[in-house]
Amino acid sequence: MTMVFRQAQDRDLLYVQRLLARAGLREDDTSNITNIFLVAETIDNEIVGIIGLEPSGDYGLLRSLVLETDYFTPAKGMGFLEAALAYGRKLQLNEVFLITKQAGAFFEQLQFRPIKQIDVPNEIQRLSHFQQFENQDVTIFACELLEQTCE
């Protein structure tokens, strides 16, 4: 099944909030979804997933990647992440960061590398989504977008 990616619109807010809640993810700031979230739709305009990419200066923070359970496969998850990175390149972001509590092999396939918190730019550390993971056992990954390809 083919997915089409588009920037979220205000009318998608309730769906984004419900999908995040069903996935057990806490997103305090979904009020500005048109600047942060991308949605994946089928050719029948059925939304099947979301990903948050919050730009801050020359950087971006991948916030949440959620696909509907019935629709998820590792290949589709990878395709969705690749679409988010392509969007980051379109925004001319130099580097994208993400925080995860799970194994990073999935992200390393796209050339993300683990980094220490001290190496995260202040623009990203100031974001509320980043700060909510302070003092938690997480791994931070980074991927340079403009200097190398994360694919």
Whether the per-residue pLDDT at 125 is higher than 70: the answer is yes
| Structural Rg of the chain based on CA atoms | 15
Mean of the per-residue pLDDT values of the chain: 84
HSE-up (13 A, CA, CB side) for residue 31:
2
Q: CB neighbours (10 Å) of residue 140?
A: 20
Whether the per-residue pLDDT at 57 is higher than 90: the answer is yes
Return the ∠ at Cα 150 (arms to 148 and 80), rounded to 5°.
150
Q: What is the mean pLDDT of residues 90-113?
A: 86
CB 37 within 8 A of CB 66: no
How far is Cα 49 from Cα 129, in angstroms, rounded to an integer? 19
CB 4 within 8 A of CB 41: yes
pLDDT in tens, 36-50: 888 888 888 888 888
Encoded tokens for 125: 């550390």
pTM tops 0.75, yes or no: yes
- The third-level CATH classification (topology) of the domain covering 4-144 is Aminopeptidase (3.40.630)
> Domain locations in the chain?
4-144
